[in-house]
Amino acid sequence: MVCGSSEDLWICLVCGNVGCGRYTSEHAQQHYLETHHNYAMALSDNRVWDYAGDYFVHRLFQNKEDGKLIEKGGSDENEAKIEGIQLECMHLLTSQLESQRKYWEEMVDQAQAQGAKKYEDVCSELEQAMSQLQVTNKKVEELGSERQSLSHRNLQLSNKFTQTLRDLSNERELNKSLIKNQEMWRKKVVDVEEVASKQQVEITELKEQLRDVMFYIEASQAIKKEDGQVQDDIRDGTVVVGPSTSSDSNRRRKKQR
């Protein structure tokens, strides 16, 4: 028996298969379509249904000798046979119910085993998921710390970049100012060089004039000295003529003039 229903059950009078009626899931009729066992008896009132003729039959029973269904008679012997058939049907029903009980117990055991296995699998998956979640949470915390560190580093770099731009701007302004000052100092240097050049010329001229003056003074002193010597010579009656000295004196006088 594979029918899960407990109401409106019919038992096949040929093989003892138990199935539900047409008002539930029609397992009894499905059994007839698969096996062509024509007769089934309702367990609720012992009525017999003929699937081939599609009607109830109440005067059929199973012959114990050949197992064929025969029409019910009115004698005590036939009544006894019918009772035997009913007892046999009850035995088949009990056997089928026991089979059904074992079947459903096996199904329950299988379901419990599958449920336990599924529960173990789910627990294992849950444990793995929790472990993975812990790893993920730890990674998230590490990434959060790293993000804060990177944000702080980014802020420092941004401030440093801003300061660098500010310093660069100041350096550019200072460079412009230095360029302007350089031009100004270059002009001043040129002016100083011109003044120095003029002064150098003046110094050179003054040196020449000073040399001439010194030459003149020396010449004058030499002349005075020579004049004194001449006077002494004249006084002593001796005249000494120095042509080279007189010639040099004349040249010096001409140059001084």
Backbone φ and ψ of 50, nearest 5°: -100, 110
> If you search the block for the tokens 């109830």, which residue do you land on?
56
Select from 223, 220, 215, 224 the least CA-distant residue to 245. 223
Q: Model confidence at 163, in pLDDT bands (50, 70, 90)? A: very high
176: pLDDT strictly greater than 70: yes
Neighbouring residues of 97: CB distance < 8 A, sequence distance ≥ 6: 1, 18
Select from 120, 118, 99, 122 the least CA-distant residue to 110. 118
Q: Give the gyration radius of the chain's Cα atoms.
A: 74
Q: Is residue 14 part of a domain?
A: yes
pLDDT for position 232? 60
Q: Is residue 89 part of a domain?
A: yes
Q: Is residue 185 part of a domain?
A: no
When pLDDT is averaged across residues 29-43 and rounded to a whole number, the result is: 86
Q: Is residue 72 part of a domain?
A: yes
* Token output for 160: 């440093």
Q: Is residue 249 part of a domain?
A: no
74: pLDDT strictly greater than 50: no
- At how many degrees (to 10) do helices 243-256 and 76-236 cross? 130
- How far apart, in whole angstroms, are the C-alpha atoms of residue 7 and residue 19? 10
pLDDT for position 6? 73
* Token output for 157: 């770099």
Instruction: Determine what percent of the chain is predicted with pLDDT higher than 70.
Output: 73
73: pLDDT strictly greater than 50: no
- How far apart, in whole angstroms, are the C-alpha atoms of residue 123 and residue 200? 108
Look up the CATH number of the domain holding residue 64. 3.30.40
Its domain, for residue 58, covers: 9-117
9: pLDDT strictly greater than 60: yes
Average pLDDT of the chain to the nearest whole number: 77
If one counts the domains in the chain, the total is 1
Give the dihedral of Cα atoms 127, 131, 134, 140; nearest 10 deg: -130
Q: Is residue 18 part of a domain?
A: yes
| 193-248 per-position pLDDT tens digit | 888 888 888 888 888 888 888 888 888 888 887 766 656 655 555 444 445 444 44
- How far apart, in whole angstroms, are the C-alpha atoms of residue 149 and residue 133? 24
Q: Is residue 44 part of a domain?
A: yes
Q: Are 22 and 101 in contact (CB under 8 A)?
A: no
Assessment of whether the complete model's pTM goes beyond 0.75:
no
| 46-66 per-position pLDDT tens digit | 788 888 878 887 544 455 445
3-state secondary structure of 233: helix
Q: What is the DSSP letter of 151?
A: H
| 79-110 per-position pLDDT tens digit | 666 667 667 766 766 776 677 678 778 888 88
164: pLDDT strictly greater than 80: yes
Neighbouring residues of 7: CB distance < 8 A, sequence distance ≥ 6: 20, 24
In the chain the beta strands, taken as DSSP E runs, fall at 9-12, 18-20, 39-42, 48-50, 55-57, 60-62, 69-71
For 140, 182, 189, 199, the CA distances from 192, given in Å and listed in that order, are 74, 15, 5, 10
Q: Are 48 and 56 in contact (CB under 8 A)?
A: yes
Q: Is residue 165 part of a domain?
A: no
- How far apart, in whole angstroms, are the C-alpha atoms of residue 83 and residue 72? 11
186: pLDDT strictly greater than 60: yes
* Token output for 185: 């100092």
Q: Are 10 and 19 in contact (CB under 8 A)?
A: yes
pLDDT for position 88? 73
